[in-house]
Chain A
Amino acid sequence: MSIVSSRLLSPFASKAAMPTAASTAVPAGRDLRLDFFRGLSLWFIFLDHVPSNIMAWITVRNYGFSDASEIFVFISGYTAAFVYGRVMNERGFVVGAARILKRTWQIYVAFVFLFVFYVAEISYLATRFQNPLYTEESGFFEFLQKPEIILIEALKLRFLPANVDVLPLYIVLMGFFPFVLWPLRRWPNVTLAGSVVLYTVARLLDWNISLYPYDRYWFFNPFCWQLLFVIGGWCALGGVQRIENFLKSRTVLVLSILFLMYAAALQLSWLFPGVTRKLPTWALILPLNKSDLSLFRLFHFLALANIVVRFIPMDAAFLRSSWARPVILCGQNSLEIFCLGVFLSFSAHFFITEISARFHVQMLVSLTGICIMIAVAWLMSWYKNIDRRGGKPPPAQTGLGERTA
């Protein structure tokens, strides 16, 4: 079912270096593809989050079913399993779990930080926005009449600001991850099957977490999206080896390509009502359910990942070129850059509204945002370097390091 390369991490590149799946050995070097594609997904998430941004046209969501969220969640699951799996191997369950929960806490703090900015912006707007053109839209601000409830609900993750939805998902996935990682190392297939069962039951019974206010639910349903996270972890812990022959078969390649082409055609035709009007009913599968991770989206992502890792080897020259460096830097500081991206998309929106909504301004704002993301990512890496040199002797440069999980 999973279609991800055997070469995502170097120890898995050859069977000689990776004799047994369960013993997650010390990696020989960093797989820059993980950093590169996570960085790219962060750029896409930023561009997609600036409302009605012309630059969003370059992002992956316009050319198929899945989007940057799938890339982000999968790679996060992959790196989390890889990094903390190694910690659990070397230092036991308790230390591994403690590290994971520390990371979870950091993500929670990041969420609260973004929430404060969000509330500041909308409160300001709510008191001044009286354009008669938008009487219906201003109904949105009604919930601000009960600030004490909003604050408590937000701390309970039951009130979510716009565009941070992926953070609460990440918090929940990481919070439960010790109890997933432990069996995933011992019985990977059984754990994956359990994840599939949870996904299936959640979809059949409509499980999700409810939100305040109104009768609504988490945008990223954690009962469904956990599947992609676990698939990522399963792949990282040697799952790919077990289905290597299947992944490398011509049939899978052809099916993946056909599916990607079908998705691209359908997604693009959606924009031309004159075309889709003539489509037969069975082809009318859009819009897909993103909240519950529709299977069309899941398989689209897996097909995409299969093609990418097949044609971009781990030692691809461009990954070490200077133009790939900015993307990789962003991917290596993913939590900080994700939060920065959300904050920048607030700011970009503000700029577009206050100054000008023209096309060239949108392009300028988008490019500026990406430049800031790169600059901050570079700064983060610099800080980490001096921290590392500061006290203790530098740890051996092994693999992905905790910070990227």
Chain B
Amino acid sequence: MRKRLAAIAICFAGLAAGATPGFAQNCPVSHELVATFAPLPQVHADVTKNKKLNILVVSAAPTQTGAAAGLKSYPYFLELALKERLKNTDVTVFAHSVPRKPIDDVVAALPGLLKERKPDLVIWQTGTVEAIRAMDPDVYGDKLLAGVELILAAKSDVILMNQQYSPRTDYMFDGVPYTDNMRYVAQSKDIALFNRYAIMKYWAETGIFDLSAMRNDGVYEKLHRCLGGLLSDFIVRAGSLPGSLE
């Protein structure tokens, strides 16, 4: 009881100070949606031994590139959340985008990026551009596998992240074959898949977020804060890090 009161007090204090306590607190998800089974050995080693965690977010999102601090999207909130949870760890999140280019271009950019950033963990957000272009899902799977092998060979962990749930465009292109291929790659390489699509769909179906707005309605930042928070939970659990609740 006292603990809970203390937690509430901290939350209020945090809110009052304009900080961001409990990132994933107002974004409930069902447990299965964020369950993870694959470990993150590099993350675990670097955090426990060197007190350092270097994350690289790779995507084809048009507006998501540069140091996380400069973005108000999930890499930024992920960095904030991890910094809060891993107090004595030097956390950096860097996002690199190859805007609106299919997976071939992303894979081509990987060697240079891995060499330059030397990440412990690559979060690979993928599948949207390919679904829009209706790329052959089998070819996509092969390219993804090749990319994942590049990352693993560079001694980094990988989390794959699938496309967003976008109710307006859900009809136009089908992301399922790409998520299926991500699952296949995740299974065969024993790496994690963060099912962003299912999580956002859950939020839409339970009324937590209305994702159908045609214009900017302020959901963007709240939603990315939630995603960042959930991702930080995901990483902490999968990496068996000190901030883990389990």
> Residues 258-299 of chain A: 1 if any B CB is under 8 Å from the residue's CB, otherwise 0?
000000000000100110110101001011011100000000
**Interface stretch (choices B55-63, B84-92, B108-116):** B55-63
Does A279 lie within 8 Å of B100, measured CB to CB? no
Does A137 lie within 8 Å of B164, measured CB to CB? yes
Does B134 lie within 8 Å of A277, measured CB to CB? no
**Which residue from chain B places its CB closest to the CB of A134 in the assembled complex?**
B166
- Report if A359 contacts B (CB, 8 A): yes
- Report if B216 contacts A (CB, 8 A): yes
- Report if A183 contacts B (CB, 8 A): no
Given contacts A136-B62, A137-B132, A274-B37, contact A284 B184 (CB under 8 A): yes
Does A140 lie within 8 Å of B132, measured CB to CB? yes
- Which residues of chain B are within 8 angstroms of A130 by Cβ–Cβ distance? 214-216
Does B216 lie within 8 Å of A287, measured CB to CB? no
- Which residues of chain B are within 8 angstroms of A274 by Cβ–Cβ distance? 35, 37
Within 10-53 of A, Cβ neighbours of B (below 8 Å) are at: 51-52
- Report if A131 contacts B (CB, 8 A): yes
- Report if B25 contacts A (CB, 8 A): no
Measured between alpha carbons, how far is A293 from B161 in the docked complex, in Å?
A: 28
Does B100 lie within 8 Å of A162, measured CB to CB? no
> Residues 192-217 of chain A: 1 if any B CB is under 8 Å from the residue's CB, otherwise 0?
00000000000000000001011111
**Which residue from chain A places its CB closest to the CB of B165 in the assembled complex?**
A52
Measured between alpha carbons, how far is A358 from B35 in the docked complex, in Å?
A: 23
Does B133 lie within 8 Å of A214, measured CB to CB? yes
Q: Which of B61, B134, B204 has the most CB of A within 10 A?
A: B134
- Interchain CB contact (< 8 A) of B214 among A128, A163, A211, A358: A128
- Report if B219 contacts A (CB, 8 A): yes
- Which residues of chain A are within 8 angstroms of B26 by Cβ–Cβ distance? none
**Which residue from chain A places its CB closest to the CB of B97 in the assembled complex?**
A136
- Which residues of chain B are within 8 angstroms of A52 by Cβ–Cβ distance? 165, 167, 170, 201
Given contacts A135-B61, A277-B37, contact A289 B212 (CB under 8 A): no
**Which residue from chain A places its CB closest to the CB of B32 in the assembled complex?**
A272
- Interchain CB contact (< 8 A) of A134 among B133, B164, B190, B204: B164
Q: Which of A134, A276, A277, A356 has the most CB of B within 10 A?
A: A134
- Which residues of chain B are within 8 angstroms of A345 by Cβ–Cβ distance? 171
Within 336-383 of A, Cβ neighbours of B (below 8 Å) are at: 345-346, 349, 352-354, 356-359, 362
Given contacts A125-B168, A357-B204, contact A273 B35 (CB under 8 A): yes
Does A136 lie within 8 Å of B129, measured CB to CB? yes
Within 203-246 of B, Cβ neighbours of A (below 8 Å) are at: 204-207, 211-217, 219-220, 223
- Report if A129 contacts B (CB, 8 A): yes
Given contacts A132-B220, A276-B187, contact A353 B168 (CB under 8 A): yes
> Residues 52-78 of chain A: 1 if any B CB is under 8 Å from the residue's CB, otherwise 0?
101000000000000000000000000
> Residues 159-191 of chain B: 1 if any A CB is under 8 Å from the residue's CB, otherwise 0?
000011111111111100100110110111010
- Which residues of chain A are within 8 angstroms of B168 by Cβ–Cβ distance? 125, 129, 131, 134, 137, 353
Within 94-139 of B, Cβ neighbours of A (below 8 Å) are at: 100, 128-129, 132-138
Within 302-357 of A, Cβ neighbours of B (below 8 Å) are at: 345-346, 349, 352-354, 356-357
Q: Name the distance in Å between B177's Cβ and chain A's nearest Cβ.
A: 6
Measured between alpha carbons, how far is A163 from B173 in the docked complex, in Å?
A: 9
> Residues 61-80 of chain B: 1 if any A CB is under 8 Å from the residue's CB, otherwise 0?
11100000000000000000
Q: Name the distance in Å between A73's Cβ and chain B's nearest Cβ.
A: 19
- Which residues of chain A are within 8 angstroms of B35 by Cβ–Cβ distance? 273-274
- Which residues of chain B are within 8 angstroms of A354 by Cβ–Cβ distance? 212
Interface bin, chain B: 35 or more
- Which residues of chain A are within 8 angstroms of B100 by Cβ–Cβ distance? 136, 139
- Which residues of chain A are within 8 angstroms of B199 by Cβ–Cβ distance? none
- Interchain CB contact (< 8 A) of B171 among A129, A138, A162: A162
**Which residue from chain B places its CB closest to the CB of A349 in the assembled complex?**
B171
Measured between alpha carbons, how far is A128 from B186 in the docked complex, in Å?
A: 37
- Report if A120 contacts B (CB, 8 A): no
Does B219 lie within 8 Å of A134, measured CB to CB? no
Measured between alpha carbons, how far is A130 from B216 in the docked complex, in Å?
A: 7
- Report if A133 contacts B (CB, 8 A): yes
- Which residues of chain B are within 8 angstroms of A151 by Cβ–Cβ distance? none
Does B215 lie within 8 Å of A162, measured CB to CB? no
Does B184 lie within 8 Å of A289, measured CB to CB? no
- Report if A122 contacts B (CB, 8 A): yes
- Which residues of chain B are within 8 angstroms of A289 by Cβ–Cβ distance? 137-138
**Which residue from chain B places its CB closest to the CB of A273 in the assembled complex?**
B37
Measured between alpha carbons, how far is A281 from B129 in the docked complex, in Å?
A: 29
**Which residue from chain B places its CB closest to the CB of A291 in the assembled complex?**
B136
- Which residues of chain A are within 8 angstroms of B186 by Cβ–Cβ distance? 273
Measured between alpha carbons, how far is A156 from B215 in the docked complex, in Å?
A: 35
Does B132 lie within 8 Å of A133, measured CB to CB? no
Measured between alpha carbons, how far is A128 from B168 in the docked complex, in Å?
A: 11
- Which residues of chain B are within 8 angstroms of A284 by Cβ–Cβ distance? 184, 187-188
Does A216 lie within 8 Å of B62, measured CB to CB? no
Question: Mind listing 18 A-B residue pairs with CB under 8 Å?
Answer: A128-B214, A129-B214, A131-B168, A131-B220, A132-B216, A133-B166, A133-B211, A133-B220, A134-B168, A137-B169, A162-B172, A214-B133, A276-B187, A277-B187, A277-B190, A286-B184, A291-B137, A358-B206
* 9 nearest A-B residue pairs (beta carbon): A287-B180, A51-B170, A214-B133, A216-B134, A357-B204, A137-B169, A353-B167, A137-B166, A140-B132
- Add 19 more A-B contacts to A137-B164, A139-B62, A276-B187 (CB < 8 A): A128-B214, A129-B168, A131-B216, A132-B63, A133-B164, A136-B60, A136-B128, A137-B128, A162-B172, A215-B133, A216-B133, A216-B135, A270-B180, A273-B187, A276-B183, A284-B187, A287-B137, A349-B171, A358-B205
